[in-house]
Amino acid sequence: MKKYFVTGLLIWIPLAITFMVLAWIIGTLDQVIEWLPADVQPRAMLGFNLPGVGLLVSVTLVLLTGVVAANVLGQKLVRYWEALLGRIPVVKSLYYGVKQVSDTLFSSTGQAFRKALLVQYPRHGSWTIAFLTGQPGGDAARHLHGDYVSVYVPTTPNPTSGFFLMMPREDVIELDMSVDEALKYIISMGVVAPPPRHAEARAALLGGQPGASAP
């Protein structure tokens, strides 16, 4: 009986958590329709709420924004909008800070969150997964002597919170795993380990140690 119960849990728990997260995302995006005039909202036109309309509106809005911003006229509008926001003291700092982070994260040429690292944290001899975010800058870099890197150490099981550290490059180990694999490893609290790759995988197939050569 216990075996069957545990098997059922292993099936239902991932499904339940997945649906809960999706429901939260859809419910949050559905709030976008509240920006529309009351007479064109689904509850006014259909007589009841229609889940998912806000998600479609959000996706459509993002796509249209991308299409408009991709041409010359759209780029001029974006520059005008940014210049307008740049004249508002508090909004200027917040907007440009978030924009710089998003540009770095989503840039195809940027290195932020492109590499998974192994670092010693929170004390020597205790290891955890971190992500490379760049190199120290500003006045902080002037006080650091040597080659340092900026890393983000996420918490478990919620990787959206964590700690920002500046560490010597020699103290970090670059891992042979993708960012997605590293995130799964963190969220699962170490239960879902990434599969062996490259030299270790080859050694396992040959029945030898890492670094063994094929006959």
Give the CA angle between residues 171, 173, 174 to the nearest 5°.
140
pLDDT digits (tens, 9 = 90+) for 13-58: 878 888 887 787 777 777 777 777 777 677 767 776 777 777 787 8
Nearest to 136 by CA among 146, 147, 149: 149
pLDDT digits (tens, 9 = 90+) for 73-88: 878 888 888 888 888 8
Per DSSP, the three-state class of 167 is strand
Residue with tokens 């050569």: 213
Greatest alpha-carbon span in the chain: 75
| Residue 65 neighbours by CB distance under 10 Å | 12
Separation between Cα atoms, residue 61 and residue 72, nearest integer Å? 19
Predicted TM-score (pTM) of this structure? 0.55
Q: How many residues does the chain have?
A: 215
pLDDT on residue 158: 78
| Residue 58 neighbours by CB distance under 10 Å | 18
| The pLDDT of residue 162 is above 50 | yes
